[in-house]
Amino acid sequence: MKHPLFLAVILATSAALDASEAAKPNILFLIADDLATRVGCYGDPAAITPNIDRLAKEGVVFNHAYVQGAVCTPSRTSFMLGLNNKHAKANHFIQHPETMTMGRWFREHGYQTCSIGKIDHDDKNDSYVDPKAWDLRVKREEMPATAKLQRRSLDEDLGLKRKNISFIGVADTPDAIDDSIRTDRALHFFEKERDAKKPFFAAIGFHTPHVPWNAMREDFDKHGQARFSVESLPANATPVPAGSMLFEPGVEMSEARQREGIQGYYAAVTFLDKQIGRLLEHLRAKGLLENTIVVFTNDHGYHLGWRGQWCKHTITEQVMRVPLIVRHPRAAHGASADGVVELLDLFPSFCDMAGLPSPRSLDGKSFLPLLLNPKANGKEGAFCQFGNGRTVRTLQWRLIERNDGSNELYDHRNDPDEYHNVISNSANAPTVKQLHALLEAEFGPRPAPSNKPAFPEFQKRQKSAVAP
């Protein structure tokens, strides 16, 4: 029989460990899909996003956050593994299942882990997902909408003769939109399945505003077309290299159709904002928010008419730059950080914020210093290789090196929309040399010039498409 004092020590130690585990911060990781920086806290006057804007007032807005993939798979693979896209190919986990994942790391360090919706790439394919990562995983297709939604096509395309660009969905009740069901499921986890003895790491993946752009009718109506302008190509804009973008030279649409599409996109973002508000209000009401780190971001941006593009798939600013907002109970509030960060920095940053070590395999760098001091410096640059090129973005410059041997240089102090390629200005030669060295350090020597199309499967589809 064990001595009573020995049992008391064991019980006290166990209670202390439980208390220590419970004292660790919770982490709520919110991920949108195809969301550009078209939200209020990023200065967009057309956006109606009060909940995201409130989150920004309670946390830090990162003004220069960049993704490592121009489509879902490479981007999500990169930030969920903490690897740059030199190492993390789209099917990296399939080829290297021993790679440590974000969910597994937190699970092995005492967290209850939960994944709801689209997190690790496309959750319809289980082979992309670490089976050791999540205590609870609810896939996207397990939560279909329960009501009907009215949908119409945005189908005027006078240039490429594709059948449609997208669809706009208008709902009278929220249960007609899948992300409302995903939010319900997340609330059920917090209310019924959360283990109060452990901190939680909950990743909630929304599909909004990925096409189709689904929204409540009331939100669609709120976004009257007078709220926003249509993007137009400046007369002196520099042409981009042929084939450098998915639908280059672009889609010809009437202004009326463009406005309808933009209205649908903004309305979908407002619906997303409501779902985020529901989650945050629940945590606030339950007294959990003050010990919860909230991170809101997105897998890549989206073009709504820039150079005629209605897509992602480019290594330009509107796709590479994404919202990143972090609410940390003990970090700065209502602040903006201008330092460059990459989404592959999320994994080590989460570890740092939770007081955990980071896996040695990670390429990212913790941005906790910018949370504590938003005036601190960020990284020297953000990198991506995709399609027919590779790019580096510093605070002032973006250099793009195409596989066909062409180069583009954009000065963001004077050209934030990247309409004017200044690569031919001899005064910029030292800058180009410096940025090229950064790209070589990240990705290795530049490939030999090639005229191979960047998106052959899409170009083939365009040629065979039937005119509407």
pLDDT tens-digit series, residues 92-114: 777 888 899 999 999 999 999 99
The 3-class SS string of 151-187 reads EEEECCCCCCCCCCCEEEEEECCHHHCHHHHHHHHHH
| Burial per residue of 199-213, b for 16 or more beta-carbon CB atoms within 10 angstroms, e otherwise | bbbbbbbbbbbbbbb
**pLDDT, average across residues 17-27:** 67
In a domain, 458, yes or no: no
Structure tokens at 95: 């080829």
pLDDT score recorded for residue 430: 98
In this model, does residue 175 exceed pLDDT 50?
A: yes
pLDDT band at 146 (very low <50, low <70, confident <90, very high): confident
Helix (H) or strand (E) holding 296: strand 292-298
In a domain, 236, yes or no: yes
Only one residue has tokens 């109060």, namely 196
What average pLDDT does the chain have? 88
In a domain, 33, yes or no: yes
Higher pLDDT, 28 or 90: 28
**pLDDT, average across residues 308-335:** 94
| Burial per residue of 454-464, b for 16 or more beta-carbon CB atoms within 10 angstroms, e otherwise | bbeebeeeeee
In a domain, 400, yes or no: no
pLDDT score recorded for residue 2: 45
pLDDT band at 262 (very low <50, low <70, confident <90, very high): very high
CA 340 to chain centre: 15
In this model, does residue 453 exceed pLDDT 90?
A: no
DSSP-derived 3-state class of residue 106: helix
Measured CA distances, 433 to 395, 419, 426 (Å): 16, 21, 11
Higher pLDDT, 386 or 427: 427
In this model, does residue 401 exceed pLDDT 80?
A: yes
In a domain, 57, yes or no: yes
CA 146 to chain centre: 27
In this model, does residue 134 exceed pLDDT 50?
A: yes
Q: Which of 205, 266, 255 is nearest to 232 (CA)?
A: 255
CB 330 within 8 A of CB 353: no
Higher pLDDT, 38 or 450: 38
Give me the domain span that covers residue 182: 23-382
**pLDDT, average across residues 433-437:** 98
CA distance 240 to 427: 21
In this model, does residue 429 exceed pLDDT 70?
A: yes
Dump pLDDT digits (tens) for 277-296: 999 999 999 999 999 999 99
CA angle in degrees (0–180, nearest 5) for 200-355-123: 40
**pLDDT, average across residues 391-402:** 97
Number of domains in the chain: 1
Omega into 212 within 30° of 0, i.e. cis?
yes
pLDDT band at 410 (very low <50, low <70, confident <90, very high): very high
pTM of whole model > 0.85?
A: yes
What CATH number does residue 71 fall under?
3.40.720.10
pLDDT band at 3 (very low <50, low <70, confident <90, very high): very low
Helix (H) or strand (E) holding 26: strand 26-32
Structure tokens at 226: 């007078």
**pLDDT, average across residues 110-127:** 82
CA distance 426 to 444: 25
In this model, does residue 167 exceed pLDDT 70?
A: yes
CA distance 15 to 5: 15
Q: Which of 356, 339, 338 is nearest to 347 (CA)?
A: 356
pLDDT score recorded for residue 17: 34
Structure tokens at 94: 């399939």
In a domain, 66, yes or no: yes
Structure tokens at 213: 């752009």
* Residue 154, strand partner residues: 166
In a domain, 58, yes or no: yes
Task: Phi first, then psi: give them for residue 124, nearest 5 degrees.
Answer: -75, -20
pLDDT score recorded for residue 6: 38
**pLDDT, average across residues 42-68:** 97
pLDDT score recorded for residue 122: 55
In a domain, 266, yes or no: yes
Higher pLDDT, 379 or 6: 379
Question: Quick one: what percent of the chain has pLDDT higher than 90?
Answer: 69
Task: Phi first, then psi: give them for residue 449, nearest 5 degrees.
Answer: -55, 140
pLDDT band at 14 (very low <50, low <70, confident <90, very high): very low
**pLDDT, average across residues 255-265:** 91
Question: Quick one: what percent of the chain has pLDDT higher than 70?
Answer: 88
